[in-house]
Amino acid sequence: MRILLCHLSGSLQGKTQPFDSGRITFRTSEECDVRFDCTLDTSVHAIHADLSVEHGIPVLRDRTAKCLLFVNGVRQKEAALRDGDLIQFEEAGPESASG
């Protein structure tokens, strides 16, 4: 399943990333798929979230243990994503749209 992420704000603003893998990691550490700049995106954690495809549905999970992930403005520990959903990494953190 192809997943497209359009980064709307933060250090990745203006970039679009396509993914064909079944798992996507969101972090500030070097070994990840979506790497935010920890000096600019201070609200993003070293291990923030994972997205996996389960039964054809992309599922986003918070990995901070603090529930610092928002989908369409609602705090989520886990959410099934649809095209156009807005993902935010902490309340004032960077935003991305799924596609």
- Total domains in the fold of the chain: 1
Q: What is the pLDDT of residue 65?
A: 87
Indicate the average pLDDT of the chain. 94
pLDDT of residue 1: 84
pLDDT tier at 85 (50, 70, 90 boundaries)? very high
Count of all residues that appear for the chain in the document: 99
Mean local confidence (pLDDT), 21-35: 91
Dig out the tokens for 76 from the structure.
């989520």
- The answer to whether the predicted template modeling score (pTM) of the entire model surpasses 0.85 is yes
Band (59; pLDDT cuts 50, 70, 90): very high
- What mean pLDDT do residues 21-41 have? 92
What CATH number is given to the structural domain containing 33?
2.60.200.20
pLDDT at residue number 63:
94
Q: SS3 for 46? A: coil
Q: What is the DSSP letter of 21?
A: S
Whole-angstrom distance, CA of residue 62 vs CA of residue 1: 21
Range of the domain at 39: 3-98
